[in-house]
Structure 1
Amino acid sequence: MTIQQIASYAAGQWIAPGAGARSIKSAITGEVIASAGNNALDVEAMLHHARTVGGPALRAMTFHQRAKMLKALAQYIGEHKQALYDLSFNTGATQSDGMIDIDGGIGTMFVFASKGRRDMPDGHVYVDGEPESFTKTGNFMGQHICTPLQGVAVHINAFNFPVWGMLEKLAPTFLAGVPAIVKPATATCYLTEACVRLMLQSGILPDGALQFVAGGLGDMLERLTYQDVVSFTGSADTAHMLRSNDHLLRNSVRFMAEQDSLNASILGPDAAPGTPEFDLFVKEVHREMTAKAGQKCTAIRRIIAPEAQVPALIEALSDRLGKTLIGDPRSEATRMGALVSTAQRADVLEKAALIGTEAERVFGDPNAFTVEGADAVKGAFLTPMLFHCAYPDAAQRVHDTEAFGPVSTIMGYRDLGHAIDLVNRGGGSLVASVITHDPSVAREVAMGAAAHHGRLYFNNRDSMKGSTGHGSPLPHLVHGGPGRAGGGEEMGGVRGVMHYMQRTAIQGSPDILTGITGQWVPGAKEITAPAHPFTRTYGELSIGETLNTAPRTVTLDDIEHFAHFTGDTFYAHMDDDAAKRNPFFPGRVAHGYLLLSFAAGLFVEPNEGPVLANTGLDTLRFMKPVQAGDAIKVRLTVKKKTQRTGEYGEVKWHVTLTNQDDDTVAEYELLTMNAY
Structure 2
Amino acid sequence: MPITADPALDESVQTALTACGVTPSMLGGDHEVTTPLTGQTVASVNMASVDDVSAAIERADVAFRTWRDVPAPERGQVVKRWGELLTEHKVDLAVLVQAEAGKVTSEALGEVQEMIDICDFALGQSRMLYGRTMPSERPGHRLMETWHPIGVVGVISAFNFPVAVYSWNTALALVAGNTVVWKPSPATALCSLATDALLARAIAECGAPSDIHQLVITNPESAAPILDDPRVALVSATGSTRMGKEVSPRVAARFGRYLLELGGNNAAIVTPSADLDLALRGIAFAAVGTAGQRCTTMRRLIVHESIADDLVERLISAYGTLTIGDPRDEKTLVGPLINEASFTAMQDSLDQARAEGGKVITGGRRVLADENPGAYFVEPAIVRMPRQSQVVHTETFAPILYVMTYSSLDEALEMHNAVPQGLSASIFTQDITEAEIFLSARGSDCGISNVNIGTSGAEIGGAFGGEKETGGGRESGSDAWKAYMRRATNTINYSGELPLAQGVEFL
Shorter-chain TM-score bucket reads 0.7 to 0.9
Whole-Å separation in 2 of the counterparts to 1:144 and 1:109 = 26
Q: Following the alignment from structure 2 to structure 1, what is the Cα–Cα distance between the partners of residues 444 and 249?
A: 25
Structure 2 matches for 1:16-165, cutoff 5 A?
21-36=30-45, 37-39=47-49, 41-53=51-63, 55-90=64-99, 91-117=101-127, 119-120=128-129, 126-127=130-131, 129-135=132-138, 138-149=139-150, 151-165=151-165
Q: Deviations over 1:588-640 (max 9, x none)?
A: xxxxxxxxxxxxxxxxxxxxxxxxxxxxxxxxxxxxxxxxxxxxxxxxxxxxx
Change (3 A) 1:363 1:439: same
TM-score under structure 1 length normalisation:
0.66
- In structure 2, the partner of 1:169 is 169
In the TM superposition, residue 383 of structure 1 has moved relative to its aligned partner by 1.0
Aligned residues: 470
Secondary structure of 1:505's counterpart equals strand
Q: Helix, strand or coil for the counterpart of 1:329? A: coil
How far apart in 2 are the matches of 1:222 and 1:95? 35
The aligned counterpart of 2:7 is none
Q: Deviations over 1:636-674 (max 9, x none)?
A: xxxxxxxxxxxxxxxxxxxxxxxxxxxxxxxxxxxxxxx
The structure with the largest alpha-carbon Rg is: 1
CA gap of 1:43–1:153, structure 2 versus 1, over 3 A, is: same
Letter in 1 for 2:164: W
Q: 1:370 to 1:243 in 2, by over 3 A?
A: same
- Aligned counterpart, 1:463: none
Within 1, Cα distance between the matches of 2:264 and 2:237?
Answer: 14
1:236 equivalent in alignment to 2:241: yes
AA aligned to 2:285 is: R
Per the alignment, residue 188 of structure 1 pairs with 188
> Partner amino acid for 1:263?
N
For residue 294 of structure 2, give the secondary structure of its aligned residue in structure 1. coil
Give deviations 1:174-198, integer Å, cap 9, x for gaps.
Answer: 1211000111111112112211112
Is 1:491 aligned to 2:476, yes or no? yes
- Alpha-carbon distance change, 355 to 196 in structure 1, aligned in 2, over 3 angstroms: farther
1:250-261 matches, cutoff 5 A? 250-261=253-264
What CA deviation, in whole Å up to 9, does each residue of 1:497-528 have, x standing for no partner?
Answer: 1111111111222599xxxxxxxxxxxxxxxx
Q: CA deviation at 1:254?
A: 0.3
Give the direction of change, closer, same or farther, for the CA distance of 1:451–1:176 in structure 2 (3 Å limit): farther
The answer on 1:2 being equivalent to 2:2 is yes
Contact 1:424 1:449 in 2 (8 A): no
**SS, match of residue 135 in structure 2:** strand
Distance 2:241 2:269 in 1: 24
1:58: how far off?
A: 2.5
Cα-to-partner distance string for 1:432-458 (whole Å, 9 max, x where unaligned):
011112111111112255562101111
| Equivalent-residue separation in structure 1 for 2:442 and 2:104 (angstroms) | 34
Matches within 5 A, 1:618-637: none
Partner residue of 1:584?
Answer: none
1:74 counterpart letter in structure 2: G
Change (3 A) 1:457 1:161: same
Structure 2 distance, partners of 1:337, 1:144, is 49
Q: Displacement, 1:490?
A: 1.3
Q: Which residue of 2 aligns with 1:292?
A: 290
Structure 1 residue 116, shift from structure 2 partner: 3.0
The AA in structure 1 aligned to 2:135 is E
Q: In the alignment, is the contact (CA less than 8 A) between 2:417 and 2:444 conserved in 1?
A: no
* Aligned 8 A contact 1:446 1:456 in 2: yes
Q: Distance in 2 between matches of 1:477 and 1:450?
A: 20
The aligned amino acid for 2:412 is A
Structure 2 CA distance for partners of 1:510 and 1:116, relative to 1, 3 Å: farther
Residue in structure 2 matching 1:506, options 470, 490, 494: 490
TM-score (structure 2 length as normaliser) = 0.87
Q: Which has the higher helix share?
A: 2
- Indicate the residue corresponding to 1:263 in structure 2: 266
Structure 1 position 363, deviation (Å): 1.0
The residue number in structure 1 matching 2:363 is 364
Q: CA deviation at 1:344?
A: 2.2
Distance in 1 between residues matched to 2:68 and 2:353, nearest whole Å: 50
- Which is bigger in relative contact order (C-alpha 8 A, separation at least 6)? 2
Runs of 5+ consecutive residues of structure 1 not aligned to the other structure? 7-13, 121-125, 272-276, 460-466, 513-676
Contact residue 135 and residue 142 of structure 2 kept, 8 A: yes
The alpha carbon displacement at 1:305 in A equals 0.9
- Amino acid aligned to 1:304: I
1:70 maps to amino acid: V
2:484 aligned partner, one-letter code: Y
1:369-390 CA-to-partner distances (Å, cap 9, x unmatched) read 458xx8353212111001111x
Q: Secondary structure at the match of 2:378?
A: coil
Distance in 2 between the 1:100 and 1:449 partners? 34
Alignment of 1:273-672 (within 5 A): 277-358=275-356, 359-367=358-366, 369=367, 375-389=371-385, 391-392=386-387, 394-398=388-392, 400-449=393-442, 452-459=445-452, 470-493=455-478, 495-509=479-493
Deviation at 1:242, TM superposition (A): 1.4
Q: Quick check: 1:23–1:32 contact (8 Å CA) kept in 2? A: yes
Q: Per the alignment, in what secondary structure is the counterpart of residue 418 of structure 1? A: helix
**RMSD across aligned C-alpha pairs, in angstroms?**
2.4
Distance 1:223 1:312 in 2: 54
User: For the residues of structure 1 that align with 2:444 and 2:270, how far apart are their CA atoms?
Assistant: 20
C-alpha contact 1:282 1:313 (8 A) present in aligned 2: yes
Q: How many Å separate the matches in 2 of 1:223 and 1:259?
A: 20
Paired with 2:286 and 2:495, the residues of 1 have a C-alpha distance of 55
